[in-house]
Amino acid sequence: METNITFKTRKPSPQLSDFVESFWMLENTAPQQKEIVVLPDGRFDIIFSYSEEESFRAILRGLDTEPGQHAIPAKQVMFAISFKLLAIEYLLNFKVAAVLNGAQILPDNFWDITKEDLADFDSLCDKVVARMLPLIKPDIDSRKKNLFDLIYTSNGALSVKELSEKVFWSSRQINRYFNEQFGISLKAFCNILRFRASLNHIKEGRLFPEQGFTDQTHFIKEVKKFSGVVPKELSKNSNGRFILLSALPKE
């Protein structure tokens, strides 16, 4: 990432791997804000942040289905937990359908995290893990567990019909569940995951479909839908504005 933007990340412990994708911290050390484009990535986040201009706060960020123009304030520090969808029902019990492409402010004392906690990334990861582990609900519906395992391991490449048949759950019921819980259909979510998986290829300059796209035309159309630009422009990532692409490790 750019010199003025630092980024740290950590994977969850095995006990949380069905619910949490990663912990990450981002800091803009520059004296001016950084204009960015946020790309859909199939995650929802709880974010703790502060800057010179903004006081410490916690927010819940819902799923994104389209690219969004944002800015990282000068001297901002941001810590986030990026969740998988199963966490909504079996860890947090939040309703995120209402914050699709948006966010809501959480209570000031949420999980007893303070501004001072953001000074130590690893210690803060340990603190939120200790907070989350007791929240995990028992008796997870095996159909949902299997469904999400298939969705994530395939990077959204399996069709709704294939997923339905493999987990013995009707497509209609699955889509009702997705729309009620997350605000989008299963197919829409899978398309986002497939786009996200293609970012690794695009970052390396491989501008052709490798992730279950029908053909080159379909690939370009989907990339433009979720990023606002064609693959070639996305791969250039001018000024590091596509923050998700910038944060990807090199293959």
Q: What is the pLDDT of residues 171-229, one digit of tens each?
A: 999 999 999 999 999 999 999 999 999 998 888 888 776 767 878 888 899 999 999 99
Residues β-bridged to residue 49: 57, 78
Domain total of the chain: 2
| Single residue among 79, 106, 135 that ends a domain in this structure | 135
52-107 pLDDT, tens digit per residue, is 889 999 999 999 999 999 999 999 999 999 999 999 999 998 888 999 999 999 99
Q: Among the three residues 106, 135, 164, which one is the final residue of a domain in this structure?
A: 135
> Which of 117, 135, 153 represents a domain boundary (last residue)?
135
**Which DSSP string do the residues of 67-88 spell out, in sequence order?**
-EEEEE-TT-EEEEEEEPTHHI
* Claim to verify: residue 129 and residue 220 sit in the same structural domain: no
> Which residues form the domain of 9?
5-135
Give 18's pLDDT tier (boundaries 50, 70, 90): very high
| Same-domain pairing of 70 and 130 | yes
By three-state DSSP, how is residue 195 classified? helix
* 234 lies in some domain: no
DSSP letters, 116-142, are GGGG-HHHHHHHHHHHHGGG--SS--H
Is residue 11 assigned to a domain? yes
CA-CA-CA-CA torsion sign (76, 13, 101, 236): positive
Do residue 126 and residue 17 come from a single domain? yes
The CA–CA distances, whole Å, from 167 to 27, 119, 123, 143, 160 equal 41, 44, 38, 6, 11
Placement of tokens 């590091």 in the chain = 240
How confident is the model at residue 180, as a pLDDT?
94
